[in-house]
């Protein structure tokens, strides 16, 4: 893969300029330069997947299980803006359309107790904590009234099992957000998978740019 090579990423997908990455520093795609020497063909190099919930600046990925266990996403206005269980590309695009191009992943103690992975985020100091939604909003610098209203509205949606505005399924809303303290972590999309690579036959024979086996 080449997710940690920003120049190569932008070469194949210019709209990803400036994105961070979840990849290790060695994911720089060196092999793609090697095969140019003997005319090796590449395929689907622009197929690059982003992960929507990555901590800006450090590449630490917040697992999708946090959302799966009941967390919601809010913007800097304190509002939800899409189904939290949308596919990675849809969620990434939705976040980039928000003020500041990041959002906050929000959950309560109930979600925290349901998922062991969250304890790792606590130890890494990634979470902002507030005893109430209003207290958390104040720490985040977002409108407390809107944020508290969003939490209350989501709890009603969760109880009814009907997310009429964004379409999150009842099975994707396993618990309400009613048990303080409340937590948030700022997240945004980052490059996660580069799916393209060297073009081969079904027998794993490398093809050149003319379609011939090398």
Instruction: Note if 80 is an active site residue.
Output: no
Tell me the per-residue pLDDT of 162-187, one tens digit each, with 9 for 90 and over.
Answer: 999 999 999 999 999 999 999 999 99
**pLDDT value of residue 58:** 85
pLDDT average, residue stretch 33-48: 94
Flag the least confident range among 17-21, 115-119, 128-132. 17-21
Flag the least confident range among 17-21, 53-57, 71-75, 196-200. 17-21
**Secondary structure, 3-state, the chain:** CCCCCHHHHHHHCHHHCCCEECCCCCCCCHHHHHHHHHCECEECCCCEEEEEEECCCCCCECCCHHHHCCCEEECCCCCCCCCCCCCHHHHHHHHHCCHHHCEEEEEEHHHHHHCCHHHHHHHCCCCEEECCHHHHHHHHCCCHHHHHHHHHHHHHHHHHCCCCCCCCCHHHCCCCCCCCCEEEEEEEEEEEEECCEECECCCCCEEECCCCEC
Position 10 confidence tier, pLDDT thresholds 50, 70, 90? very high
Half-sphere exposure (Cβ direction) of 11: Cα atoms closer than 13 Å = 12
Tell me the per-residue pLDDT of 127-167, one tens digit each, with 9 for 90 and over.
Answer: 999 999 999 999 999 999 999 999 999 999 999 999 999 99
pLDDT average, residue stretch 195-207: 96
Position 36 confidence tier, pLDDT thresholds 50, 70, 90? confident
**pLDDT value of residue 193:** 94
pLDDT average, residue stretch 107-123: 97
**pLDDT value of residue 17:** 87
Residue 105 has pLDDT above 90, yes or no: yes
**pLDDT value of residue 42:** 96
**pLDDT value of residue 18:** 82
pLDDT average, residue stretch 66-92: 96
106 contacts 181 by C-beta, under 8 angstroms: no
Of 88, 112, 168, 175, catalytic:
88
């Amino acid at each position: 893969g080449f997710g940690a090579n920003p120049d190569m990423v932008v070469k194949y997908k210019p709209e990803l300029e400036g994105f961070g990455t979840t990849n290790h520093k060695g994911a720089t795609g060196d092999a793609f330069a090697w095969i140019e020497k003997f005319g090796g063909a590449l395929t689907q190099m622009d197929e690059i997947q982003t992960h929507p919930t990555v901590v800006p600046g450090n590449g630490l990925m917040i697992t999708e299980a946090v959302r799966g266990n009941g967390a919601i996403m809010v913007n800097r206005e304190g509002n939800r803006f899409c189904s939290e269980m949308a596919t990675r590309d849809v969620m990434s695009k939705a976040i980039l359309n928000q003020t500041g191009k990041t959002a906050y992943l929000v959950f309560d103690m109930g979600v925290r107790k349901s998922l062991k992975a969250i304890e790792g985020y606590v130890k890494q100091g990634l979470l902002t904590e507030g005893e109430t939604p209003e207290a958390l909003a104040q720490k985040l610098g977002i409108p407390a009234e809107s944020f508290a209203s969003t939490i209350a509205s989501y709890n009603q949606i969760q109880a009814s099992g009907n997310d009429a505005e964004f379409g999150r399924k009842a099975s994707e809303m396993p618990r309400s957000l009613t048990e303080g303290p409340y937590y948030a972590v700022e997240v945004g999309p980052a490059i996660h998978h580069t799916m393209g690579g060297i073009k081969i036959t079904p027998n794993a024979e490398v093809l050149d740019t003319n379609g011939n086996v090398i």
